[in-house]
């Protein structure tokens, strides 16, 4: 850190955890993320022998993936206090936001599976907790070609319902349709949390939630998405053609009447995590600018001695601290309160991603011409931050969706 950190109430275990994740971020995540970012073809990112698999294995070996799984199934959910979880998220975002999101999506199906008593779902969660090789990877299969940010708006308009449909036949559901290229881990995932339309006449209110393996007959993948930012994060299409799943894997159905209530929970969870991740990226961009301003000589002195640079630096510092403070307040509240506050989570997602983008932009200005060079990490941070303002819901649409929770 280039400035004093106010985490004065951390206990020794929390400090050790933070420092462990920080070391992993500095020695493994950041360098590998930069290598993956520079690969011309996104297919190279996920190819056998890619350093992507090294970073996933190291993450698993540290046991960080276990924090979303209960102890009874081999995880450490109960041992993970809210502040520790927050520290992990911020440090991962500081190191590489794209990989941090990949790790988060990678655990979603297994965390969801642990909530349901079906033996196969319980075993799915147990196997994930025991996996130190990165053989089990999850994804959140929600976004579709015709449904992206509008998903969070909900409603019962039949024209806005999920395009991926499920039809009940006896003890099975038959699933058909396409998930969009923006599914994180889409082309490498082994399992999915799948949003599927079960009652089309009810629009988004008629959706169900399934937890399924992705090696079933009728499932195909598209090409990895080639995009401007977060290039280490694999994203891609998933196609379903009359895929059969047992009814027990459709864990939420419209008649249960709980999907509407889950809306704020899902909104708060996804956006709260994004807020923490990109508060971390904002801090990383600030640190790079501060360090460079101390090293770069102009007018015979380091540019940190020029008042215009000092003003930029302090403004960036103020923005970063505001984003960190807001996300921490939100995350600590939402961790122990039900329902969580969707409005605060969305506000933090919007504020953190826009802060990360603005701070990275100012950092490029401080770097000058070097800020445009891929030799320095700041241009990657700028691109990663820009992607986040659209990711998991365009910021403007998220704001409109969250107004109802004020």
- End-to-end CA distance of the chain, in Å? 35
Query: Are the beta carbons of 218 and 241 closer than 8 angstroms?
Result: yes
Phi-psi region of 314 (alpha: psi -120 to 50; beta: other; left: phi over 0): alpha
Residues 6+ apart with CB under 8 A from 174: 166, 167, 242, 243, 244
Q: Does the pLDDT value for residue 68 go beyond 80?
A: yes
Q: Show the tokens assigned to 204.
A: 């988004």
DSSP structural state of residue 5: -
Confidence (pLDDT) at 146: 87
Of 35-39, 55-59, 154-158, 232-236, give the lowest mean pLDDT range: 154-158
Q: How far is residue 268's CA from residue 346's CA, in Å, rounded to a whole number?
A: 7
pLDDT grade, residue 3 (50/70/90)? low
CA angle 391, 319, 227 (to 5 degrees): 25
Residues 6+ apart with CB under 8 A from 178: 144, 145, 163, 164, 237, 238, 239, 240
Largest CA distance in the chain: 79
Residues 347-375 have a mean pLDDT of 97
Q: How far is residue 276's CA from residue 84's CA, in Å, rounded to a whole number?
A: 12
pLDDT tens digits, one per residue of 115-154: 999 999 999 999 999 999 999 999 999 999 987 766 666 6
pLDDT grade, residue 5 (50/70/90)? confident
pLDDT tens digits, one per residue of 182-196: 999 999 999 999 999
pLDDT tens digits, one per residue of 53-62: 999 999 999 9
What radius of gyration do the chain's Cα atoms show?
Answer: 21
Confidence (pLDDT) at 160: 78
Give backbone dihedrals phi and psi of 185, rounded to 5 degrees, phi first. Answer: 70, 15
Helical segments of 234-295, H only: 259-295
Q: Does the pLDDT value for residue 360 go beyond 60?
A: yes
Confidence (pLDDT) at 8: 72
Mean pLDDT of the chain: 94
Confidence (pLDDT) at 347: 97
Measured in whole angstroms, the distance separating CA 71 from the mean position of its chain's CA atoms is 23
pLDDT tens digits, one per residue of 277-327: 999 999 999 999 999 999 999 999 999 999 999 999 999 999 999 999 999
Q: Does the pLDDT value for residue 2 go beyond 60?
A: no
Q: Does the pLDDT value for residue 1 go beyond 60?
A: no
Confidence (pLDDT) at 313: 97
Instruction: Give percent of the chain with pLDDT exceeding 90.
Output: 86
| Nearest CA among 36, 13, 113, 41 for reference residue 73 | 113
Domains delineated in the chain: 12-136 (1.10.540.10), 139-255 (2.40.110.10), 259-405 (1.20.140.10)
Residues 398-404 have a mean pLDDT of 90
């Amino acid at each position: 850190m280039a400035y004093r950190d106010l985490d004065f109430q951390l206990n020794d275990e929390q400090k050790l955890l933070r420092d462990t994740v920080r070391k992993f971020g500095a020695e493994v995540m950041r360098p590998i993320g930069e290598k993956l970012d520079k690969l011309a073809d996104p297919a190279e990112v996920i190819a056998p022998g890619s350093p992507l698999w090294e970073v996933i294995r190291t993450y698993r070996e540290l046991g960080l993936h276990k924090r979303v799984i209960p102890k009874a199934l081999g995880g450490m959910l109960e041992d993970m206090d809210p502040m520790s979880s927050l520290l992990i998220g911020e440090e991962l975002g500081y190191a590489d936001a794209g990989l941090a999101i990949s790790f988060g999506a990678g655990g979603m199906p297994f965390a969801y599976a642990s909530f349901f008593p079906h033996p196969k779902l319980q075993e799915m969660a147990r196997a994930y907790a025991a996996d130190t090789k990165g053989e089990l990877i999850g994804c959140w299969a929600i976004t579709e070609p015709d449904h992206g940010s509008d998903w969070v708006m909900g409603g019962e308009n039949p024209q806005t319902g999920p395009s991926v449909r499920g039809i009940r036949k006896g003890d099975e559901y038959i699933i058909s349709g396409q998930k969009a290229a923006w599914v994180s881990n889409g082309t490498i995932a082994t399992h999915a949390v799948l949003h599927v339309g079960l009652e089309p006449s009810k629009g988004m209110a008629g959706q169900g939630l399934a937890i399924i393996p992705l090696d079933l007959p009728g499932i195909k993948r598209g090409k990895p998405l080639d995009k401007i930012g977060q290039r280490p994060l694999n994203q891609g299409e998933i196609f379903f053609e009359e895929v059969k799943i047992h009814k027990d894997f459709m864990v939420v159905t419209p008649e249960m009447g709980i999907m509407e209530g889950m809306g704020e929970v899902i909104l708060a969870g996804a956006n709260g995590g994004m807020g923490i991740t990109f508060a971390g990226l904002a801090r990383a961009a600030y640190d790079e600018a501060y360090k460079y301003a101390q090293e770069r000589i102009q007018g015979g002195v380091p540019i940190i001695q020029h008042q215009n640079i000092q003003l930029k630096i302090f403004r960036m510092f103020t923005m970063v601290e505001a984003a960190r403070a807001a996300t921490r307040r939100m995350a600590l509240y939402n961790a122990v309160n039900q329902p969580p506050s969707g409005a605060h989570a969305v506000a933090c997602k919007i504020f953190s991603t826009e802060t990360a983008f603005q701070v990275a932009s100012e950092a490029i200005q401080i770097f000058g011409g070097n800020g445009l060079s891929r030799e320095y990490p700041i241009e990657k941070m700028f691109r990663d931050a820009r992607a986040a303002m659209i990711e998991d819901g365009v910021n403007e649409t998220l704001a409109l969706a969250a107004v109802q929770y004020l």
